[in-house]
Amino acid sequence: DYHQDYYNHNQSKPYCSFVIQPKLNQFAIDFKEKIKPELLE
């Protein structure tokens, strides 16, 4: 399916930049102590 790994393959697309990335940033802030450090890079 084309939607599998959409973000990983299309990070420069506007939807990813303006919708998904801010959510990932907030998730990383909220759960920083539970995320492996290498995943935050």
Give 6-40 pLDDT, tens digit per residue. 999 999 999 999 999 999 999 999 998 998 888 77
Placement of tokens 């303006």 in the chain: 18
* Domains of the chain, residue spans: 12-39
pLDDT value of position 3 = 85
- Burial readout 13-40 (b: 16 or more C-beta within 10 A, e: otherwise): eeebeeeeeeeeeeeeeeeeeeeeeeee
Binning pLDDT at 50, 70 and 90, where does residue 1 land?
confident
* pLDDT of 37: 84
How buried is 9 (Cβ within 10 angstroms: 0-12 exposed, 13-18 middle, 19+ buried)?
Answer: exposed
pTM of the model: 0.73
Give me the pLDDT at residue 16, please. 96
Question: Tokens representing 34?
Answer: 């539970």
Confidence (pLDDT) at 17: 96
- One-letter amino acid at 37 equals P
